Amino acid sequence: MITLDDVTKRYGDKLAVDGLSLNVDEGEVCVLIGPSGCGKTTTLRMINRLVEATSGRIAVGGRDIRSVPPEELRRGLGYAIQSVGLFPHLTVAQNIATVPRLLGWDRGRIAARIDELLSLVGVDPGAYATKYPRQLSGGEAQRVGVARALAADPPVLLMDEPFGAVDPLTRERLQTEFARIQRELRKTVVFVTHDVDEAIRLADRIALMKDGRLRQYDTPERLLDHPADKFVHDFMGVDRALKRLVRVRVDSVMNAAVPTIDESSSPEVMADRASCAAQRFAYVLDVEGVVQGWFDCRALEGGQQAGAGVTRIDWRESTVRPDASLKEALSRMLELGFRSIAVTDDAGHLLGDVALSGIEGAFSEGDSHIASAGTEEQQP
């Protein structure tokens, strides 16, 4: 879909990008990453001709980008940037309408598209369409920025650290939502970041650059397991095993058959149900099926009254969603001191759980190399 062939960008004596060749397949997320000054942003900006390549050839959809006027080219390439760049004098709706208006869409089509896009990026169209950018939080502004980039439904998205300017918690939420949107839309995405975790999480393939040169271009797994050289190895970090967990979703190792009991049950019933389970505990649900806590039958041995042995939790704090990464699940478990953690939907309904043993399993079954590499590191 996007092909860079021996592309070079020279500023005076300095080579910003040096003989870069890269191919991004349709529907793939290609993440450009590297230390600052490595030429990743320059590369991105050469694709929509905000920067003109000194030499080499760039093609999008098989067409040389120099064969069309730059404005026409850019209207077909969604563009989202770190500083968002929303137009402060226009409302959210007018901002999103920018490219459709340039393309001459009619009002009805634009209005419908705005509603559709705001819903897609998780912003309530009714409440936000008429707001101005400065009335938005950082995360909301980034969402609107992505919606604006998607406005004219371009096949290609160019994103320059689109989640760079928000706090880590918001960034993680935006990444999760971006992954969801991408599963739905299957755009061809070129994504610049300096955050290795973000790259591993979102990329189908990572292009690791240094000093304007491409050092390795491969899947995140391959970069983690088979780094081309010491630079790649070091850049990916020492916690490669943990980073691997970012690639695995909770629902892929989730244990769906977990024992549950109703919160109104007597201690005897609770003990009985719980002792049937191998773990000797069960999740306590309310009538709606929302997780309220768990029951540990060992706590019952003293013979207490109703409610004893029940540990109450707030599902918003102490559970994970099915589309979270295993790294997030593990991190939560370590933080809370649990050996397993409940998986719920957005309303708190129990879907299953993930145990430490399940996470260990993910190491061995997916790629034995990772698991063994991890062991070797533990025994130098």
Partner 1 sequence: MEPEAPIPDPRVASASDRVGATAALIALSGAVFLPMYVLRANRIVPGIDQPLGAGGPAAWLLVLFAAGAFAAALFLRGRSRERAELACAVAMFASLAWALAYAASTLAPEPTSSARVSIGAGAWLAMAGAAALWFAATRTPTGAVERTGAAALAAVSWLAAGVWGGLSRLSVLREYALQANTFWSEVGTHMALVGIALGLAVAIGVPLGILSSRVRWVRTVSLSATGLIQTVPSLALLGLLVLPLAALGLPGIGPLPGIIALTLYALLPIVRNTYLGLTQVESSAIDAGLGMGMTRLQLLLRVEAPLALPLVVEGVRTATVMTIGIAAVVAFIGVGTLGVLIIQGLGYQADDLILLGAVPIVLLALVADAALRAMGRLITSPGIRVEAR
Query: Is 63 among the residues that bind partner 1 (CB under 8 A)?
Result: no
Query: Is 111 among the residues that bind partner 1 (CB under 8 A)?
Result: no
Please, which residue, 158 or 189, has the CB nearer to partner 1?
Answer: 158
Residue in 18, 120, 132, 273 binding partner 1, rule: CB under 8 A: 132
Q: How far apart are CA 59 and CA 103, in angstroms?
A: 22
Query: Is 91 among the residues that bind partner 1 (CB under 8 A)?
Result: yes
Residue in 19, 27, 37, 85 binding partner 1, rule: CB under 8 A: 85
User: Per the structure block, which two tokens stand in for 227?
Assistant: 């780094």
Q: How far apart are CA 354 and CA 360, in angstroms?
A: 11
Among all chains, which residue has been given the structure tokens 């505990």? 281
Compute the least distance from the CB of residue 31 to partner 1, in Å.
19
H and E: helices and strands count for the chain: 18, 17
- Distances in Å between the Cα of 375 and the Cα atoms of 153, 246, 247 are 47, 19, 20
Q: Which residue stretches of 226-294 are H helix?
A: 230-236, 240-246, 250-253, 267-276
Residue in 17, 141, 144, 223 binding partner 1, rule: CB under 8 A: 141
Q: How far apart are CA 163 and CA 10, in angstroms?
A: 28
Residue in 9, 74, 113, 244 binding partner 1, rule: CB under 8 A: 74
Query: Is 134 among the residues that bind partner 1 (CB under 8 A)?
Result: yes
Compute the least distance from the CB of residue 182 to partner 1, in Å.
20
Query: Is 72 among the residues that bind partner 1 (CB under 8 A)?
Result: yes
Query: Is 48 among the residues that bind partner 1 (CB under 8 A)?
Result: yes
Query: Is 124 among the residues that bind partner 1 (CB under 8 A)?
Result: no
8 Å CB contact between 95 and 144: yes
Contacts of partner 1 in 171-210 (CB under 8 A): none
Please, which residue, 135 or 252, has the CB nearer to partner 1?
Answer: 135
Q: Which residue stretches of 8-159 are H helix?
A: 40-47, 70-75, 92-96, 98-102, 107-120, 125-128, 138-150
Where do contacts with partner 1 occur on this chain (CB under 8 A)?
48, 50, 70-76, 79, 81, 83-91, 98-99, 102, 132-138, 141, 148-149, 158
